[in-house]
Structures are given as structure tokens and as C-alpha cells.
Amino acid sequence: DILVAGETLIDWVPERSGPLEDVAGFERRPGGAPANVAVALARLGEPPLFWTRVGADPFGRYLERTLADHEIPDRFVERDPAAKTTLAFVTHDEGGEREFTFYRDGTADTRLEPGRIDDATLSDWEWVHAGGVTLSSGSAREATLDLLERAAAADCTVSFDPNLRSELWPDEETFATVVGEALAHVDICLATGPELAALGYDGDSPTALARAAVERGPVHTAVVTRGAAGAVAVASADAPWGEAAVEHPGFAVETVDTTGAGDAFVAGAIAALRDGDDLEAAITVANAVGARATTAAGGMTALPTRAEVAALLEA
């Protein structure tokens, strides 16, 4: 089985663009990078277990229902009687880059607790995936670090997406330190170039950054996504798919909304590598899942099925 761990939250997306203080109408969308990855895997036909925590409020009930609608088992979906669900407001700056305003002080997803998943359970699983937002505050940081450490000890494949949201970190140094602790247990890191640079890796190209991550170890495979330009990946001889340096230019599609593309990509990569694809085939599939996810509005609502991905790969 695959276990995904981390936040489920509500993204509020303005009906019209403009500064947050001037926006009156919002659309409610389920989100959170790990939640998107979990649902993306489910859409691809491989529903994972998902360890998350929602508030005892209407938003939490909505998220529970959304996960259930996507056939995600509720075994590790916790409802926190003493906390509310995280809300994120998504606006765009003048350059069109997304900006996030989080209502996330002491909210349910920051309150995951260490030790919830025991070693015997972990040893039954093949793959554990987590991300950087979960490490930014509360007991969820320790809970996630503990999970990754024990997952690595139990010989699970551990994948990780640093997902830098600077709004959630006091400074880049803290991000680099805390995520660095997590990476000590990670096999596969999937990130953007700027995220790897923020983590202190040196390199003047995506491939050089990926190589730097793999050289430091114990990460044996580093994948760098490049938006519409696809992705590159580097693996060391420690990787089950062997030493490799590969790139794929991505798929040209009619992009409507790139929200969740990175999470879709991650799910595509996990599904393909677990199916036994080599690294080059896996980043091709991942690019197809990521590209397809940009062709409709929303993050979780735009995730493709396996058949839709196959159609893009064969086109």
C-alpha cells in the first residue's frame, strides 16, 4: 500500500482577481498538496491510505466527504474535536504568481501527533509520501519527521515534496533546516528548481540541482519539475532503477489552470515507479498527469483518470 500524510484544507479562490481586501466572492475548493496527491493517486486507480486531520466543523465534514467520494479509506482520516479546518485564500500578484493567505493557527492539520501509525503497520506498506507544508508548524512537524524516520527504517520507499510556501515559514533558513531533517529519511525528492536552491543545493540548471541533491544523499533520486517545460530527474547507483539522468520536455496542452499540477505530477511519478517503470518512463507519465491536470479549473477537481493519461501519452 501507499500512505500519503499531511494537510487537507480549503482553498478559497476569488471569482475575480484583485487584492484580497477587495475581493468579495470566493469559490470553495478542496486542497492541500498531500490531499491532492492522495486524490490524484485514487483517480489513477491506486487509492492510497491518507493520514490527515480535519476540524470538527462544516469544512472538515466537506473534506471528509470529498475524500470518501474519491474512495480514500477513512482509516487514518482524523477529526479533531478541538480544532478548526485550515483555510487558504489564493490570490495572484501582479506577475500572475499565486499568493496564499493562510488561516492556519493551531488548526487541525497542524495537530497530527507522533506515534499514530505503529511500526507493524508501517512494515506492511511499500511507499510513504509527505510534504513540506506539514513540517511548518505544530505537532505535525514532529509527527511527520517521526513517520518518515520509521518508514525509512521499515524499508518503505519514502518520497517527499518540499512545497515551499514562504508565508508559513519564519525564514528560508528554518525551512532549509527542518526540511533537511526530513530529507535524511527520503529516497525520492520531487521539487522545483527554486525549492532545491532554497534548500541550499548549488547548481546552475535543474539537472545540476538534482545532481547536487543526489550527491548529498541519502536521497537517491531527485526530480525537478519545470512547469510547461516538463521535468528532469537524476538517480544515483543506489536507486532501484539504477543510475540515470533523464529529461522530458512535457506535453503541450491547452492550459486553463495550473493549480495542483505539481501534486498531480508527484502522484503520476509514484504510480509509475511503483508499477516498475524506469525513471525516464516515470517522468514521462508524471508529465502527462501534470499536463492533463492543467486543462481544467481547480486542483483536486481537475485530476485525470488513468485512461485520460493514456490518451495523452498515445496522442
Contacting residues toward ligand ADP, per CB under 6 A: 192, 225-228, 230-231, 250-251, 253, 255, 258, 261-262, 265, 287, 290-291, 294
Close Cβ partners of 244 (under 8 Å, ≥ 6 residues apart) = 233, 234, 235, 278, 279, 280
Q: How far is the CB of 262 from ligand ADP (least distance, A)?
A: 2
Closer to ligand ADP by CB, 116 or 306: give it: 306
Locate all alpha helices (DSSP H) within the chain, ordered by sequence: 33-43, 58-69, 119-122, 139-153, 172-183, 193-198, 206-216, 261-274, 279-293, 306-314
Closer to ligand ADP by CB, 77 or 231: give it: 231
Tell me which residue has its CB nearest to ligand ADP: 262
Neighbours of 46 (CB within 10 A): 17
Q: How far is the CB of 293 from ligand ADP (least distance, A)?
A: 7
DSSP string, 207-272: HHHHHHHHHH-S--EEEEE-GGG-EEEEE-TTSTT-SEEEEE-------S--TTHHHHHHHHHHHH
Q: How far is the CB of 222 from ligand ADP (least distance, A)?
A: 14
Closer to ligand ADP by CB, 57 or 257: give it: 257
The C-alpha atoms of residue 264 and residue 146 are separated, in whole angstroms, by 26
Closer to ligand ADP by CB, 67 or 264: give it: 264
Close Cβ partners of 193 (under 8 Å, ≥ 6 residues apart) = 206, 209, 224, 226
Strand pairing report for 231-235 and 244-248: antiparallel
Q: How far is the CB of 191 from ligand ADP (least distance, A)?
A: 8
Q: How far is the CB of 228 from ligand ADP (least distance, A)?
A: 4
Report yes or no: 292 and 43 within 8 Å, Cβ to Cβ: no
Q: How far is the CB of 67 from ligand ADP (least distance, A)?
A: 21
Closer to ligand ADP by CB, 14 or 230: give it: 230
Closer to ligand ADP by CB, 47 or 131: give it: 131
Q: How far is the CB of 27 from ligand ADP (least distance, A)?
A: 19
Q: For residues 14-28, b (16+ Cβ closer than 10 Å) or e, as one string?
A: beeeeeeeebeebee
Closer to ligand ADP by CB, 60 or 162: give it: 162
How is residue 7 annotated by DSSP?
-
Q: How far is the CB of 265 from ligand ADP (least distance, A)?
A: 4
The C-alpha atoms of residue 206 and residue 202 are separated, in whole angstroms, by 10
Q: How far is the CB of 250 from ligand ADP (least distance, A)?
A: 5
The C-alpha atoms of residue 266 and residue 30 are separated, in whole angstroms, by 18
Can you say whether the dihedral through the CA atoms of 31, 33, 38, 43 is positive or negative?
positive
Closer to ligand ADP by CB, 47 or 206: give it: 206
Closer to ligand ADP by CB, 76 or 287: give it: 287
Report yes or no: 49 and 25 within 8 Å, Cβ to Cβ: no
